[in-house]
Structure formats: structure tokens, C-alpha cells
Amino acid sequence: MTTATKIDNDYQPITHTIAEFESAAPVKDAKVLGWICEMADIMQPDQIFWCDGSTAQWQLLTAEMVAQGSLIKLNPDIRPNSFLARSSSDDVARVEERTFICAADPEAVGPTNNWRDPDEMRQELLPFFKGAMRGRTMYVLPFAMGPIGGAITQLGLQLTDSPYAVLSMQIMARVSFEVLRHIERGANWVRTAHTVGAPLLDGAADSAWPCNSTKYICHFPDTLEVLSFGSGYGGNALLSKKCFALRLASVMGKREGWLAEHMLLIKVTNTNTGRVYNLAAAFPSACGKTNLAMLTPTIPGWKVETLGDDIAWLRQGADGRLYAINPEAGFFGVAPGTGESTNPTAISALWGNTIYTNVALTDDGDVWWEGKTDEVPAHLIDWQGQDWTPASGTPAAHPNSRFTVPVTQAPSIAPEWSEAENGVPLDAILFGGRRATNVPLVAKALSWQHGVFMGATISSEKTAAQEGLVGELRRDPFAMLPFCGYNMADYWGHWLAIGEKLGDKAPAIFQVNWFRKDADGKFLWPGFGENSRVIDWILRSLDADSESDDAKGEELPVGIVPASGELNLTGIEISDESLAELFRVDNESWLQECMLTEEFFAMFGDRVPQELRAQLQGLRERLGA
Ligand code: GTP
Ligand code: SPV
Ligand code: MN
């Protein structure tokens, strides 16, 4: 049930003074208090609640939500301290059409974003925000992205009237009053405000998932602010995530010389030599980041530890190398397809302390989703609260249903996740997507510039994490199409400039594709744990100049692929035909791709770096054009 549109009728402002807040607030900072005061004057909450990230507050809020019917407590003998939330059926994923970048210069925002003038957008939003929190509590969350005090870390404050968002943020970010101490000492911070846009008038009963049919996810990079209205779901409501850590942070990174990326982060140890490698990988939404982040190798010789599954911030270190952190503290992972055979690490992370959204409920109070077990339960309550049997013919869990769990619960979590205040040095960067055709299983870029070209030209089949037709091919450069807060062509230029600075200390770049299919539409590659075979080749190829190396590869027009015998295939059944098809480069289709790339580049006009046009030309020549 959704409340419709504007809500400023019979809005009567109650003016607050900073002094009023000061006595009750755990912070003595005029800017913080002034902002909260201003937002409270507009949104008119009944009360203000300061979130300190404590277990006591978690218990209070979960108990309140269970009593009110907006959370279902799972069977504590099976899933202790775990809860199920069911969203409104029209609030199940990010809303890209309702996501806006509001900055003075439309050219600087670029053709892949919805641009709005910041002042005009504020005027447009005001009637929606006015009185939006009436009858509700405004929660104030101070949070850090990255270890508090770390070199790459940033701070933020979120206001929200959604206790679901509060609990999720408590898992996803480092919510702590310690952040306020840093702000008092002058640290910069980002302002984010969120409302579900469903005021409770005259004591009206609340719905289980309040939201508004009108939604606005607005970013103000010039003033480092986010204003989010109408949705309670994921990246729309947990403002630390896509809004701050990607859209605003990408702009901050452009200004300050660093990168905010839609990337997982892993630490891989060669168990024979003890050598440690750190890898980052950018795949579009629901294309396997969480899976690769928790990889269980099926071949000996490697240990994989998790650093992050969705976002990485990258910055050049004092030694000239590129360092990365995961700014988040939790996983907001896609549930369907996560099972004992595909991702046993995620399954063990989910033992407790987890919030599930839009998954199915079993008769014994546990959760279930498609792919969790091979055996399908005979009866479930589906994600919309309806009785479900295998005969129902609909998915029991929504395809974009998610789990929210602390990263520390993954048995694979690397100690560097919290200890490495300055991040880990990267050895390789991977770009991938869902491609049924054309793109080989793995290809190494010929240079940093070629790697940037690979990233800039990623296309991928749409998933349930995006709106629109699932399976439809779309360009998703660097897996950042919905997340880059400024002109995508300038972003490519920024990547090229970072490469210049890194010089020969730059990590190597690879393209991967686990999703190539045969003529019958079956995946050619077994994927999941077997992807360790590709990681193995990638890491061996990093020492391609050394004598002992056995992964020098073979150059194809699109990059360097494993030469015959280089990919470790011991222990899996894969036919020679399948293997050939996994790496087949059809020059005609690739020249076709080049034409589409040229069209894609044309969207950005003169802003496309000359180097990328040269890369396109180089590729065409290698393809024999
Ligand atoms: P966001 O959280 O939306 O950014 O997505 P993500 O990239 O972290 O997605 P995730 O790892 O959760 O993957 C989502 C889907 O990809 C699941 O349905 C998985 O089953 C599927 N998947 C992941 N790895 C593989 C693989 O190697 N092969 C195949 N065929 N499917 C995979
Ligand atoms: C994605 O869509 O890439 C996600 C989920 O990681 S959300 O946080 O909702 O954007
Ligand atoms: Mn993501």
C-alpha cells in the first residue's frame, strides 16, 4: 500500500531553535545542529532519535518493528536475531529514472545521468518534504565509510524516518558517535536526508512498508548532499551506499584525484609461495560481485579472502601504487542464486544477525529463495505474504530480494578489511558483465589505456536489480552507468589520468565473462568456485616476464587470452568445443560491436578522450578492418 504524491496539505510549520536541539544532542557542532534544525523544520517529525549503532538500540528498534508488524522475527533456533521485511510490491529496487544529479552545469553531469538544476530541484522537492515526517520519528545516524581515522575514509550523517533503513545502515556502515567527535574537530562530512514520504496524520495506523508512489533520489555534488524521497528500498534508502559512496564520492574523487568504484575487493594468497595479491573487480548489478568476493577455490594453491563485495575506493599511496578500501561494513547481497553449492561462504555468513528483504518464509520460520537449496519446499509464504507451493508458477522470493549482514560474519573476511587504514595495494583490476556472446572468458588488456577502453565499453544483459526488460543488452561502462555522479566521458579521462600517474606501478587490467552461452542457451562455463581457475591464470600471467612463468598467453585482437594448456582444467569436464567457443573471437561480430561503440561514444561528443578513440581505431585494425 502506497501513499500517493504530495503531502503538504494542512502543513503547519513548527519552528525549532538550535538551542532546543543542543541540550539533547550528543554533538556540539553548529553546522550539524543547524542542518538538523532546518530539516526538522521542513519535515516536522514528532521526535528526534540519535543512533549510536549500539546493540541496545538494535534491540529496541527490532522489537518495535516486530510489534508493529513491519518486521517478522525468524525462528531464533534456526536464524537468531534475524528478521524478514516485505516491501511494497512497487518498491523493490533502485529507480534509475527517478535518480537525479543536480549540479549547475548540465554538461558536467553528462548524457547518462538525469540532470536537474539544483535550485529548481530544491523548489520542486520542497512540497514533498514539507511535513513528510509528521507522526514519525526522525532518526539521526552519524556514520563512517571506511575505518574511522583512515586515510581514505569519509564521514556522513543520514536523517531518515525509516527504522528499517536505520537497522540496515547499522549493518552496512560504521554507525557511531565517534564520528561526531571527528566532525567536532573539523572533519568534513556529507549531508544525506531520507524520508519514505508517508506522514502519519491524526494517529492513522502505519503500513508494514510505508513509501510513496512518487520517488526522488537527488544528489547535489556541488554541496555534497543527498535528498531521497518516497522509497524505503536498498540503494534508494541506505544513502551511504550508492548515493554517497558512488555518486557523490565519484565527484569527490574526480576533484581530489581518487576513484570511487562499483567493485568487489579480494585478497588472494598463493599458498605455496605465500605471496599475496589484491584484486578489484567491477561487474554490473547482480552480475556476480558477491559471488567472486566470497570465492571458494576448486583448485589447490590459492586462498581467497573477502575485503568487499560492492564498492571500493581507490587512491594512490605514498609508494606510487594504487590502494583500495571497502568503505562499507555489510553485504547487501542478492539472495536468489545464493546456495550451498554456488556460495557456501555467504550461506555460512547468514547464520544470524541478518535482515532479509522480500525472500520467502518457511513453515518453521526460516527463509528460502530460489537456488538456496536444490529441494524446493512444499509450502512457503512468498515475498508478498501469500501462500505458495511449487505449483504456484511465480517466484517465491523476489528476483532482487536481498540479505543484509555484517561483513565480519563471512568466514572469509580478511583482517585487512578493518585493519588496513590506508587500504591494500592492487595487483589487478577486472571488468565484467553478462554476455551470452562475443566476450571471451578472460582477456588481459594490452595496456592501461586498453584496459580503460575495455571498462568504458562494457555492455551487459539487464538483471532484476535494474528496471526494464531482464536480458536486454545495455552499455554499462565500468559497471558505473547508474552510479557515476558526473560526465561519463570525463570519468574515462580521469581513469586515464590516474593511469599516467601510476605509470609502471599500475595494476594490470583484465576483462572476464562467466556468462557466455552455447547455441542451446546453456552456460558454457561452470562459474562460481570454478572461476578460481580464471583467477589462477590471471595471477600467473602477472609474472609474464619471469622465466618460470607458464601463463604468457596468446594475443587475440581483443586482448591476451590463455594459450592452449595454460588454463588449469584438471577436475572439470569441459569439451574442446566449449573451450574453443568460450574464447572464440568472431571478427565480424566484433567489428559490429565497434560500430555500436562508436555510436555510444558519439553520445558524449568531444568529451570522449582522444586516447579512447585511438583504442577503438586500434581494435578495428587488429580485427582486420
Ligand atoms: P549487486 O549487489 O546488485 O551490485 O550485485 P552483485 O554483482 O554482487 O551480484 P551477485 O554476486 O549477488 O550475483 C547475482 C547473480 O549472479 C546470482 O543469481 C548468481 O547466481 C549469479 N552468478 C554469480 N556468479 C556466477 C557465475 O560465475 N556464473 C553464473 N552463471 N552465474 C553467476
Ligand atoms: C546494485 O543494484 O548494484 C546494488 C543494490 O548493489 S542497491 O544498493 O539497491 O543499489
Ligand atoms: Mn551494487
Which residues share a beta bridge with 99?
217
Residues whose CB falls within 8 Å of the CB of residue 159, separated by 6 or more in sequence, listed in order: 36, 39, 43, 138, 139, 140, 141, 192, 193, 194
Domains in the chain and their CATH numbers? Answer: 17-52+93-256 (3.40.449.10), 261-328+419-624 (3.90.228.20)
**Is the shortest distance between the CB of 102 and ligand 1 below 6 Å?**
no
**Among candidate residues 191, 198, 192, the one with its CA nearest the CA of residue 230:** 198
pLDDT at residue 471 in the model: 85
pLDDT digits (tens, 9 = 90+) for 15-45: 777 777 788 899 999 999 999 999 999 999 9
Q: What share of the chain is helix, strand, coil (3-state, %, to 5)?
A: 30, 20, 45
DSSP-based three-state secondary structure for 488: helix
At CA 325, angle to CA 356 and CA 544, rounded to 5?
115
What is the dihedral angle through the alpha carbons of 88, 91, 93, 97, rounded to the nearest 10 degrees? 170
Question: Whose Cα sits closest to atom 22 in ligand 1?
Answer: 288
DSSP 188: -
pLDDT at residue 586 in the model: 95
Question: Whose Cα sits closest to atom 8 in ligand 2?
Answer: 235
Q: Give one DSSP letter per residue of 78-128, joined into a string.
A: TSTT-EEE---TT-SS--GGGEEEE-S-HHHH-TTSEEE-HHHHHHHHHHH
pLDDT digits (tens, 9 = 90+) for 435-484: 999 999 999 999 999 999 999 999 999 888 887 788 889 999 999 999 99
In the chain, the N- to C-terminal Cα span, in Å, equals: 57
Residue 176 alpha carbon to ligand 3 centre in Å: 24
Using DSSP bridges, classify how beta strands 330-334 and 154-160 pair: parallel, antiparallel or unpaired: unpaired
**Is the shortest distance between the CB of 261 and ligand 1 below 6 Å?**
no
**Is the shortest distance between the CB of 291 and ligand 1 below 6 Å?**
yes
Catalytic site residue 287?
A: yes
Q: Residues in the chain with pLDDT < 50?
A: 1
pLDDT at residue 3 in the model: 52
For ligand 1, mutation pick of 287, 515, 516 (most atoms within 8 Å of CB): 287
pLDDT digits (tens, 9 = 90+) for 574-601: 999 999 999 999 999 999 999 999 999 9
Q: Report the C-alpha gap between 355 and 84 in whole angstroms.
A: 6
Q: Report the C-alpha gap between 379 and 573 in whole angstroms.
A: 36
For ligand 2, mutation pick of 172, 242, 244 (most atoms within 8 Å of CB): 242
pLDDT at residue 1 in the model: 40
- C-alpha cell of 587? 571478427
Using DSSP bridges, classify how beta strands 380-381 and 137-145 pair: parallel, antiparallel or unpaired: unpaired
Question: Whose Cα sits closest to atom 3 in ligand 2?
Answer: 285
CB-based burial label for 374 (10 Å; 0-12, 13-18, 19+): exposed
